[in-house]
Amino acid sequence: MIQNSMKVFWTMLVTMLCAYFSFQVPVFAATDAKTVKWLDYSNKVFTQSEKEKKPVLLFVKADWCPHCNKMKETTLQDPSVIKLINESFIPVMIDADANRKLVVEYKVTGLPTFIVLNSKNKSIKEFSGEFSIIDFLANLMQA
């Protein structure tokens, strides 16, 4: 019962935020937030995370993965998603094929995978798969 109530709460919250942000499109254009400012993985992202008091958001993907490509072309192009990621996270993109060691380290079992980490490299939240804008925002806001 409580799980259903929480799901309804988060769904309503994200819906309201999406509705609010949909009227704010000119603001996004003015802030030049046209894409997520993805960084490469390194220890520097955790230093930056601690300095800026923001968690790290890992996006583990592969070029051959259709769900990864769809996320990059749709959900991750949405102005409200771009704004939330750029302002609230240190975004890091990892190519699963080129970084097998990181895939094993973070126990990635499917693509795309999103992992929110604190500045000490400890997992806060993980979620995998292709998400709508609303569901993706809900996952990020729960982190």
CB-CB contact of 140 with 84 (8 Å): yes
What is the pTM for the complete model shown?
A: 0.80
State the virtual CA torsion across 72, 124, 141, 25 in degrees, nearest 10.
-40
Q: For 84-103, write each residue's pLDDT tens digit.
A: 999 999 999 999 999 999 99
Got the DSSP string for 27-45?
HHHHTT--S---B--STHH
Please compute the mean of the pLDDT values over residues 72-82 and round it to a whole number. Answer: 97
Selection from 109, 113, 107 nearest residue 128 by Cα: 113
Q: According to the model, what pLDDT value does residue 86 have?
A: 98
Q: What are phi and psi of 51, to 5 degrees?
A: -65, -45
Confidence of residue 11 (pLDDT cuts 50, 70, 90): low
Which stretch of 8-17, 77-86, 91-100 has the lowest confidence by average pLDDT?
8-17
Of 138, 142, 133, 125, which is closest to residue 14 (Cα–Cα)? Answer: 138
pLDDT for position 95 = 98
